[in-house]
Amino acid sequence: MITHKHTQPHRKFWRKGIAFLTATCLLSSPILAQDAANKSGDDAPELTAKASQAIDKGLKFLLTTQKKDGSWDLDGEGGRVIGITSLSMMAFMAKAQFPGSGPNGKELERAKDFLLNYAKSRPDGYLGTSMYEHGLATLALSEIWGMTQDKDEDDAIQKALEKAVDVIIRSQNPGGGWRYQPQADGGEDTSCTMTVFHCLASARQAGIFVPQETIIRVGKYLKGAQNAESGGLTYAPSGRAKVSYACTAGGVYCAQLAGLRDSEMVAAGLRYMKKQFPGVITKGAGHYYYAHYYAIQAMVQAGDEYYAEYYPPLRDALISKQKEDGSWHGKKGATSHETPMAIIMLATPHRYIPIYQR
The full DSSP string for 162-199 is HHHHHHHHHT--TTS-B-SSS-TTS--BHHHHHHHHHH
Does residue 7 belong to any structural domain of this protein? no
Burial class (CB in 10 A: 0-12, 13-18, 19+), 262: exposed
Residue 98, domain member (yes or no): yes
Half-sphere exposure of 138 (CA within 13 A, CB side): 31
Q: Does a structural domain hold residue 103? A: yes
Terminal C-alpha separation, the chain: 32
Each as own residue / partner, the long-range contacts of residues 120-129 (CB below 8 Å, 24 or more positions apart, any chain) are 120/156, 120/160, 122/163, 123/163, 124/163, 124/167, 125/160, 125/163, 125/164, 125/166, 125/167, 126/164, 126/167, 126/182, 127/82, 127/164, 127/167, 128/80, 128/82, 128/83, 129/80, 129/82
Q: Are the beta carbons of 56 and 347 closer than 8 angstroms?
A: no
Report residue 178: phi and psi, to 5°. -135, 160
Cα 300 to Cα 350: distance, rounded to the nearest angstrom: 12
In this structure, are residues 46 and 245 in contact, taking their beta carbons and an 8 Å threshold?
no
Whether residue 171 lies inside any domain: the answer is yes
From its phi and psi, is residue 3 left (phi > 0), alpha (psi between -120 and 50) or beta? beta
Provide the pLDDT for residue 165.
98
The H or E element that residue 79 is part of is none
Query: What's the domain count of the chain?
Result: 1
Enter the pTM of the model: 0.89
**Domain assignment of residue 2, yes or no:** no
Task: Domain of residue 110: give its range.
Answer: 12-37+50-356
* Residue 5 belongs to a domain: no
> Given this model, what pLDDT does residue 239 score?
59
| 208 domain residue, yes or no | yes
Q: What is the pLDDT of residue 15?
A: 46
Residue 44, domain member (yes or no): no
Tens place of pLDDT per residue across the chain (358 aa)? 333 333 334 444 444 444 444 433 433 333 333 333 333 444 456 889 999 999 999 999 999 999 999 999 998 889 999 999 999 999 999 999 999 888 899 999 999 999 999 999 999 999 999 999 999 999 999 999 988 778 899 999 999 999 999 999 999 999 999 999 999 999 999 999 999 999 999 999 999 999 999 999 999 999 999 999 999 999 998 756 799 999 999 999 999 999 999 999 999 999 999 999 889 998 887 899 999 999 999 999 999 999 999 999 999 999 999 999 999 987 777 899 999 999 999 999 998 888 888 7
- What is the distance between the alpha carbons of residues 114 and 128, in angstroms, rounded to a whole number? 13
Domain holding 256: CATH number?
A: 1.50.10.20
